Amino acid sequence: MIPALIMAGGKGSRMGGSTEKPMIAFLGKPLLDWVVDAVFNSKKISKFCVITSVNTPKTEEHCKNMDWKVLRTDAKGYHNDLKQAVSQLGWRGPILTMPSDVPAVTGAILDGVVCEFEASNKDFLAVFVPIEKRQELGLSTSSTDEYKGKMYAVSGVNIINGAKVLSQRKIDTTAIISENTRMVLNVNTVKDFEVAESIMRQMSLE
């Protein structure tokens, strides 16, 4: 079993409005709560911590009210905040990291990612989704990365080695390419939000 970091400190400016992105009500409850539910339902995650910043004080308050472990970082960008969290928590082995805006992800999906990581014998695993799959669903593709010469959309779900991240040594990486709709539904814009709600309503009827 490995720990998880839920990254919830970004500004979420593309969503507009005054509500912090992790706290936006998605099908009746905050986006963040859907992600925490997935973590609770995972058999491969031992514990978790929600990473907040000065950008997300309401999110931090919510976590404290729910008695979830929370850590405020300095809001110096995703990767710097991640390193700061790993350093302060003292987590040096494998860590699952995920954003607070993947509401469709389930505990079973996270368990599958951890199993793939354990079988890979690598220090870092990223979950990518085909850009075409997001476009097909009408989702934005603003966050992309290259893997084996091809560009993919970033899901935000990764497993890292805490010690290697802090040492800045070369990290041996692998990736999962997933077309699972639940992994594809990363909410970056208002339109993404609307599409994700519609798809998940349909899933609940099936």
3-state SS, residue 30: strand
Tokens 């009500």 — which residue?
Answer: 25
Give the domain ranges of the chain: 2-205
- pLDDT at residue 82 in the model: 87
Closest CA to 185 of 103, 125, 106, 97: 103
Q: Which residues, listed in sequence order, are joined to residue 175 by a DSSP beta bridge?
A: 126
* pLDDT one digit per residue (tens) for the chain, 206 residues: 899 999 998 766 556 667 888 999 999 999 999 999 999 999 999 999 999 989 899 999 999 999 999 999 998 888 888 889 998 998 889 999 999 999 999 999 999 999 999 999 888 999 999 999 989 888 888 788 888 888 998 888 999 988 887 776 666 788 999 989 888 888 888 888 888 889 988 877 65
- pLDDT at residue 188 in the model: 85
Closest CA to 60 of 92, 39, 32, 90: 32
State how far the Cα of 54 lies from the Cα of 6, in Å rounded to an integer. Answer: 16
- pLDDT at residue 146 in the model: 86
Question: Which H helix or E strand runs over 168?
Answer: none
- pLDDT at residue 109 in the model: 94
DSSP 21: G
The verdict on domain 2-205 having CATH code 3.90.550.10 is yes
